[in-house]
Amino acid sequence: MVEEELLEQEFLERCFQEMLDEEDQDWFIPSRDLPSGVGPLQQQLNGLTVNDNNNADEIARKSSLNPEAKEFVPGVKY
């Protein structure tokens, strides 16, 4: 009886581990799945810069949004 329980537990652990291994194969893991070194995507990311606030101020002036509007909260009805 105890031996059967141990065998069943071992079987379940193996099944669980196989399931985790299969799931890992489905996930995209950059460190594992991308070639090492700097790729084109990394080069693009390195070339990005943050715009200064002047541009943001200009966008805010042209905006048609209502600054007095209530803050949107998902699931809340007004």
pLDDT tens figures, 25-62: 777 777 777 776 666 777 777 777 776 656 777 877 88
The percentage of the chain sitting over the pLDDT mark of 90, rounded to a whole number, equals 17
* Neighbouring residues of 78: CB distance < 8 A, sequence distance ≥ 6: 70
C-alpha triplet 54, 59, 61: angle, nearest 5°:
95
Sort residue 73 into left (φ over 0), alpha (ψ -120 to 50) or beta: beta
* Neighbouring residues of 46: CB distance < 8 A, sequence distance ≥ 6: 38
pLDDT of residue 6: 92
**Cα–Cα distance between 21 and 8 in angstroms, integer?**
20
Sign, Cα dihedral of 59, 44, 33, 31: negative
Reported confidence tier of residue 23, pLDDT bands at 50, 70, 90: confident
